[in-house]
Chains A and B, each alone.
Chain A
Amino acid sequence: MDGALRLPYKVNMHIFSILSGFSLAFLLLPLAQAAGAPDCVSCHPAYAARKKSHGPAAVGTCAVCHVGEKKGGKHHTFTLSKEQPELCLSCHEDFRAKLAAVKVPHAAIDSGGCTSCHDPHGSTERFFIKDPQLDKVCSACHDAKTKGAVVHSPVKNSCVLCHDPHGGQAPKLLTTAAPKLCLDCHKDVEADLARKHAHAPAKGNCALCHDAHSSAKPKLLRHDGGRALCVTCHKKIDELAKAAKRPHKALDKGCPACHAPHGSSQPALLNASMADLCTGCHKAQKAEVKSPFLHGPVRLAQCQGCHEPHGGPNPLILKTYFPEPFYNQYKDGLYALCFNCHEKDIAKQAKTTTLTGFRNGDQNLHFVHVNSKKGRSCKACHAVHGGKQQKHVREEVPFGSWMLPIKYVKTPNGGNCTVGCHTKFGYDRVIAVLNK
């Protein structure tokens, strides 16, 4: 108070005007009485004895607001000197401009006037709020917002932290439009939204997923955050997952097990790069994806290049069926998974000088390997994720119950391969090798 009284004149007068009525009454009551004001306070002492009294009530200048006394019976009645809110605004001039400028008015001011929320004589609370529990004042008109098991902490007695009771520029009387209003406190979310990939609804309106007041769900979510909430928009993913003969078990842990709901540095809002994310559970593949020679999609950390992360009809949740047998005579469509990216002509053209480097002169060795009754599957020779040999050629190949080693050597114009106890087979793109 000392400090306040030393402020420049205008600032001082404003602070003076909002000082507690008790001190004002103490100072000004004798003056008012000396000026001949009606002594209402001697019959109505409670109005002047509030912890925080409205100035006119405190000093007994009741006639500022109450006029037209009618006597009769035990009581005398009055009318207000002006209608609300005009009566209040005659003194509280600063609110006149504010109320005139609001885009979204508080209906209570028009319907019930200022006294809908403020006690005109005073109260125990700042600004003469009618009830010490502010949320009770609000819930006199509005449904109680604290019904859910999880209540947003500002909602507990703090409606005005988010809503301006005198009206404002933003919808629902918000002091600032969402999401900025929310991000004023939720700085962690603000940091997430600033990442390369932000979830569009989170950037636009937090209330699409969260109930700002209370919810039966954790984190004030509108639905179960495991999956039910996400599929309200991501319907196709839900259909895919529901129809999947081979579900991805990770979905049981809920979408946030893999996706960050607000924002991420990774595409598809993943919690980590796909290689790290997937090998977090698929431990057996952890070493494979660190191999020196990786399959293209693995090199790009794109597990979804071959696998359907939300489940699907094929074993290993592969995007397209891949035959399990080691020997298959090639036919179109058999290796559709691989030929989704690779050129299927490498399995169909016996001669080429352009399609593949795996050729002896112009003899296409891919064609040779797959086009016979005992045609080899792609993964008979290639490790699907990655391996220690060039072209991610496998180190071992199954032969009955044995595992036979494959030794592959790449040379500048070709390479050679030794499988188990077979002799070495070589190839050269410039001068064809004559294998015995």
Chain B
Amino acid sequence: MTWRGAALLLLVLAPAARASAGHLRNVEVGQPAPAFPALAKSAGRPVLILYLREGQPLSVKALEAATRLHARHKGAVDFVLLKKGQEPIAAPFPVVFDEGERVYGSYGLTVLPTTIVLDKAHRVADVYPAFSREMEDYVEDALRRARGLKVAEEKEPSAAVASRETGLARKLLEHGRHAEALAEADKALKAGDKTPEARLARGEALLRLSRTDEAAKELEAAGPAGRLLLAETRLKQGRGAEAEALLRQALAAGPSARARYLLGRVHEDAGRVKEAAAEYRAATELLLPK
């Protein structure tokens, strides 16, 4: 692994490690969980231990969250509720009185409630101390990891997001209002929209306004997304061979009625009527409902 890979791994693991480490006095994450009788029944299965204090508002909320988690992981994860008091408490999973605070002491709890997730081998996989609105999501992920399931990672937008001006330009193009679309696309680019969509909208507006040389420049900058419009521009400029090359590239990437239609236009311009007719036919067939 390169140093960059290692740094990335550390970065990915950092939040979980930060949240779960050091919350128990006597056992660390990754170490075998101290045994207690109720745990023996769950051999080979992940376990969620919720240790709470009766009547404490945070414990009440933690139990509500654990009940929801139990409903989602029932059958795959064993849940056990531990408490110091002997008052009865309603829970959809076993409730154990921790006599003499043996479990409290053996794990070395410091706060209540505390939620502990054990993996299938009954090693401490994660700890969530006290309660916050983040607890349920956090423990859900921990349980999924303990079960060997995939944990959904939030995807940050990988590329720049098209601006609202670009979106409006696109709408205006759909309505045939090309000059207004151009004005919006200009605004988008001026405001720093660096997405291909912005260049594409400006390029298309210029093309529809017959400003073909400017359109070509813009569509070249838009990359593969601008290929069909650039082909159409080349066709208008009388540069059929370039248009054909672009259209062949587009068709290599997948079927496209518009590419077929434009290819027909290329053939027709070049006097290849039969080939043109074949392409028009192919375009129409692609448009027919399957």
Give the most central of B53, B102, B110: most A CB within 10 Å: B110
Identify which of A191-199, A239-247, A419-427 touches chain B: A191-199
Among residues of B, the one whose C-beta sits closest to the C-beta of A267 is B134
What B residues does A341 contact at CB under 8 A? 58, 111-112, 129-130
Tell me, yes or no, whether A296 is within 8 Å of chain B by CB: yes
Q: Cβ of A296 and Cβ of B111 under 8 Å apart?
A: yes
Partner among A184, A188, A296 whose Cβ is within 8 Å of the Cβ of B161: A188
Tell me, yes or no, whether A42 is within 8 Å of chain B by CB: no
What A residues does B175 contact at CB under 8 A? 158, 160-161
Q: Cβ of B58 and Cβ of A340 under 8 Å apart?
A: yes
Tell me, yes or no, whether A407 is within 8 Å of chain B by CB: no
Tell me, yes or no, whether B32 is within 8 Å of chain A by CB: no
Partner among B132, B161, B164, B168 whose Cβ is within 8 Å of the Cβ of A302: B132
What B residues does A300 contact at CB under 8 A? 18-19, 129, 132, 134
- Minimum C-beta distance from B182 to chain A (A): 15
Q: Cβ of A3 and Cβ of B265 under 8 Å apart?
A: yes
What A residues does B100 contact at CB under 8 A? 354
What A residues does B280 contact at CB under 8 A? 7-8
How many residues in A have their beta carbons less than 8 Å from beta carbons of B?
Answer: 38
Among residues of A, the one whose C-beta sits closest to the C-beta of B21 is A299
With A267-B137, A299-B22 as known contacts, state yes or no: A357 contacts B108, CB within 8 Å.
yes
Partner among B26, B162, B264 whose Cβ is within 8 Å of the Cβ of A187: B162
With A300-B129, A354-B105 as known contacts, state yes or no: A187 contacts B167, CB within 8 Å.
yes
How many residues in B have their beta carbons less than 8 Å from beta carbons of A?
Answer: 50
Q: Cβ of B164 and Cβ of A188 under 8 Å apart?
A: yes
Tell me, yes or no, whether A342 is within 8 Å of chain B by CB: yes
Tell me, yes or no, whether A186 is within 8 Å of chain B by CB: yes
Q: Cβ of A343 and Cβ of B112 under 8 Å apart?
A: yes
Tell me, yes or no, whether B101 is within 8 Å of chain A by CB: yes
Among residues of B, the one whose C-beta sits closest to the C-beta of A304 is B132
Q: Cβ of B164 and Cβ of A186 under 8 Å apart?
A: yes
- Minimum C-beta distance from B100 to chain A (A): 7
Tell me, yes or no, whether A305 is within 8 Å of chain B by CB: yes
Among residues of A, the one whose C-beta sits closest to the C-beta of B138 is A300
Interface residues as binary, B228-257 with A (CB distance below 8 Å gives 1, 0 otherwise): 000000000000000000000000000000
What A residues does B137 contact at CB under 8 A? 196, 267
What A residues does B180 contact at CB under 8 A? 158
Q: Cβ of B58 and Cβ of A184 under 8 Å apart?
A: no
Interface residues as binary, A329-353 with B (CB distance below 8 Å gives 1, 0 otherwise): 0000000000011110000000001
Q: Cβ of B130 and Cβ of A6 under 8 Å apart?
A: no
Given A153-B168, A267-B134, A357-B108, 10 other A-B residues pairs in contact with their CB atoms under 8 A: A158-B175, A161-B175, A184-B170, A187-B161, A300-B19, A305-B130, A341-B129, A343-B112, A354-B100, A355-B104
Q: Write 18 A-B pairs (CB below 8 A) sorted by A numbering.
A: A3-B265, A7-B280, A8-B280, A158-B172, A158-B177, A160-B175, A161-B172, A196-B137, A265-B154, A267-B137, A297-B130, A300-B18, A300-B129, A300-B132, A302-B132, A302-B134, A354-B100, A355-B101
